[in-house]
Structure 1
């Protein structure tokens, strides 16, 4: 049955993509650069430079709206049951990875066309257009680019985040989550290659290693090096282990994943966490040390990680995601910003998702995904506008002083938007944020 469905979807994809090329021809004023750089958008601080271009851009003809709307309806029918919220397409019910290349291409096509249609429909209805740009929130630098955080304040963000996310239980939990997500998606592959099967075995061995470093007594006990237990186990003590073993296993997993493009996202996460493992690989995990020595070593490890993980570090951002939400998946979202106020200090952020299903389950899933994105924006904004003392790379306390004439922090307004077919238009409040649900309809 799955093979039959695969053949049908594969047959549908080619004419759909050819029709999409025709739709792009009908939309005037579209440059090659804008269609080729949808991912990895860099947000320059301050007002958007493309605002004048959007105003001068001629609206599409009426026939473009009808053709695009019909195309979106067919896409939504083909993708029913598939969630687009965050990274590659996944089954909306189970969350497992959709590994067929044509399904991923169809989902990306729907996402991009929906963004174009919603933006154009707002102009045609004489509503303020949302200038949405697709980006992947994969580092603190990306988040700060959206918020327009200055270079001076970005350092404060890093110095505020590092002491919170470099604790042992956060570090170990993030590593286990990266490997756990990898194993889950590898299990959903129909024909795993020998290299993929080898990666799964190495990931299982690495998870067992990490579980051995868990706190044996209390959660406050540092576990980079474990203190001697009150009751020593009978027999000879186990051999000392080092974090070099974890680094070696992550390196082997990364090599095994190179041959399978379906797991490219996981390979990027493995490479990101290797950045931190290189900094702590010489640390020995042993029991025969005192509690005081273990606490001292714990502080030294945290200080080293805080110094080595830079602002653009994907490893640092992964630790932050696990610290905030217990997940490590990067957040892919459409973002629009509006900067106002004296000195352009007030920022309004609109985060958007497009749904292929209009049922309540899909809406709730989209709200949760958007809530994570808005939560990251709020966390980074508050860290950037904190005037309390922080700790520099050398472990010394520093005080951040405002420049002459610098006003108090501005106002950050966060809104979430969900668009879909057959949804009930409403406003939902979730964890302190307002989410607007809209229908995709002809203007």
Structure 2
């Protein structure tokens, strides 16, 4: 995927200080004004000023959006590293949340969104009417998902029993590590190219060693070939020289020490720490392409057995493996509007709704938002069905754009509502 790096390392600091003293201070006052007045209607003059500011922000944020902790250009999927623009995106979305909670938009929502069948035996629910539904959320564990879905302790055990053997397969485990390390390598390349430091140089070397280790391990045998085609190697003079997953664990320890002070790599650091949990559980398992086919398969089965036995339901490592298993993706999912679930326990159906705030209503931006919400909703549905919940779970995604025309989209069987934010 093509990526673009924008970095104003020489002149942005002074510019940002000026911007912070003006616009950012204005925004902080606005945030506190509506943050402290939760449940209280703000004056019309506030909305007028905020709307004008949102128009200005939307114009300068064309094609940019914050997705799972990264600022991206939705036209080509490239990553954009620009702290000033990232601050502006966050400001835009903070102001949008205040508008979504306004009486006029809440009334529009009540009229425009068709009643869910989950409302049949309960009072109709207006999406995002509660302050808690308009808060952003990072989805980073099965526990958080289960809390939202009100999944019982017994059902969580059932989910874990089902999920663990699927996501701890050797090929899933190694592919997840590779995806994480390749993403980290890209970001380290950027930092090292702009401002070379000992830590980033060392980090790149360690990442390369880890990737080489995994590449050699993955080429140890062809799973599609017959076992008789693989000749067992001659006995080694020193069997203790066989490589183990402990070697990767030590490299991860060194890598974490290298980048722990790099603010730009905070999300990557958390993922390294998450996967370190799994590595610590399989540290004694042998990884060596010089061993025979059957021995290699046995060691791989040990990886799966140990991870299945030790990774708990709330484990960030287990959650990361599940993300890769479902989507080939390792970053935690972020949504701008946490939404919620209603109708649970009141009938045969209930409805889950989540939302995103988009900086423009261009088609590329809208469909990028739809696909992102599809991942989130799909993850919730997977856990819901794996838990064996009795009710049918309806899924709704909501996208908010400045001055957009209200419309409904269908994507892979789910409904997505596009809402306009107006003054």
State TM-score, norm by structure 1: 0.79
1:415 aligns with 2:396: yes
Q: 1:63 to 1:126 in 2, by over 3 A?
A: farther
Please give the residue correspondences for 1:289-438 in structure 2 after superposition, counting only pairs within 5 Å: 289-333=291-335, 334-340=337-343, 342=345, 346-385=349-388, 409-421=390-402, 423-438=404-419
1:115 aligns with 2:97: yes
Equivalent residue, structure 1, for 2:175: 173
Counterparts of 2:277 and 2:43, CA distance in 1: 50
1:88 aligns with 2:88: no
> More helix per residue: 1 or 2?
2
Query: What's the offset of the Cα at 1:267?
Result: 0.5
Query: What's the offset of the Cα at 1:58?
Result: 2.7
Equivalent residue, structure 1, for 2:142: 140
Asked whether the equivalents of residues 96 and 184 of structure 1 are also in contact (C-alpha less than 8 Å), the reply is no
1:30 aligns with 2:56: no
Asked whether the equivalents of residues 335 and 349 of structure 1 are also in contact (C-alpha less than 8 Å), the reply is no
SS in 2 for 1:249: helix
Counterparts of 1:319 and 1:310, CA distance in 2: 12
Counterparts of 1:358 and 1:5, CA distance in 2: 32
Counterparts of 1:409 and 1:351, CA distance in 2: 21
Equivalent residue, structure 2, for 1:204: 208
Q: After superposing the two structures, state which structure 1 stretch, 254-263 or 289-298, moved more.
A: 289-298
Aligned length: 391
1:243-297 C-alpha deviation (Å, 9 max, x unpaired): 1111111111111111210111101111110000000111111346554444444
SS in 2 for 1:413: strand
Equivalent residue, structure 2, for 1:19: 26
Asked whether the equivalents of residues 82 and 356 of structure 1 are also in contact (C-alpha less than 8 Å), the reply is yes
What value does the CA root-mean-square deviation take over the aligned residues? 3.0
Counterparts of 1:228 and 1:267, CA distance in 2: 41
Query: What's the offset of the Cα at 1:241?
Result: 1.3
Q: 1:199 to 1:341 in 2, by over 3 A?
A: closer
Equivalent residue, structure 2, for 1:153: 155
* Structure 1 stretches lacking a partner, 5+ long: 32-56, 386-407
* Structure 2 stretches lacking a partner, 5+ long: 1-5, 111-125
Counterparts of 1:437 and 1:126, CA distance in 2: 11
